[in-house]
């Protein structure tokens, strides 16, 4: 095999591995539905944690998509990685869901509300990479509980 063919084969294999990794296979062997959702039930939110000033992870009680990444509509200057306590501001009072377009403030900070985007399902491995640490195992401690 020539050097050029080996390089092409290597590039092909790397591309195939990246494609397999991007499919979102879960530990239980089922495929993760990557369809973004507009809302999540507020009662179903077990925990949340900021990963930057533009994104928050929502850990929900669900077997189909237990983790959502929410990319905010704009930078939230008072939001820092690791923040876990938020005061939600819903567009419709009494609504039992948290939706794209709703807002939140970082608890105990004076600020304008930050606006949520859509909720994108992600795998636990992706969440670990964003958080920079492993997630808790089954039966162990979960991410910091929401307020």
Same domain, 60 and 119: yes
Same domain, 101 and 51: yes
Average pLDDT estimate for 140-145: 47
Average pLDDT estimate for 5-22: 37
Residue 60 to residue 45: CA distance in whole angstroms: 4
Residues 6+ away with beta carbon under 8 Å from 40: 58, 60, 68, 97, 98, 119
Quote the pTM value: 0.73
Same domain, 17 and 86: no
Same domain, 42 and 3: no
Same domain, 46 and 9: no
Same domain, 99 and 137: yes
Condensed to tens digits (0 to 9), the pLDDT of residues 91-124 reads 887 789 999 999 999 988 887 899 999 999 999 9
Same domain, 69 and 26: no
Same domain, 66 and 135: yes
Q: Is 49 left (phi over 0), alpha (psi -120 to 50) or beta?
A: beta
Task: Tell me the residue range of the domain where 10 lies.
Answer: 1-31
Please report which helix (H) or strand (E) contains residue 13, including its range.
Answer: helix 3-21
Same domain, 106 and 125: yes
**Total domains, the chain:** 2
Higher-confidence residue of 7 and 48: namely 48
pLDDT band at 137 (very low <50, low <70, confident <90, very high): low
Q: What is the pLDDT of residue 140?
A: 37
Same domain, 81 and 131: yes
Same domain, 83 and 147: yes
Average pLDDT estimate for 122-147: 74
Same domain, 73 and 124: yes
Condensed to tens digits (0 to 9), the pLDDT of residues 31-77 reads 899 999 999 999 999 999 999 999 999 999 987 789 999 999 999 99
């Amino acid at each position: 095999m020539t050097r050029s063919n080996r390089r092409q084969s290597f590039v092909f294999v790397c591309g195939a591995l990246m494609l397999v990794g991007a499919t979102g296979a879960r530990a239980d062997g089922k495929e993760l539905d990557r369809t973004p959702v507009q809302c999540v039930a507020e009662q179903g939110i077990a925990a949340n944690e900021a990963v930057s000033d533009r994104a928050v992870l929502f850990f929900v009680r669900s077997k189909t998509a237990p983790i959502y990444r929410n990319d905010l509509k704009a930078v939230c200057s008072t939001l820092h990685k690791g923040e876990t306590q938020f005061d939600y501001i819903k567009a419709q009072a009494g609504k039992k869901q948290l939706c794209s377009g709703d807002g939140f403030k970082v608890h105990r900070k004076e600020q304008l509300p930050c606006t949520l985007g859509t909720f994108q399902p992600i795998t636990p491995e992706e969440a670990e990479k964003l958080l920079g640490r492993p997630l808790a195992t089954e039966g162990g401690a979960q991410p910091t509980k929401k307020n």
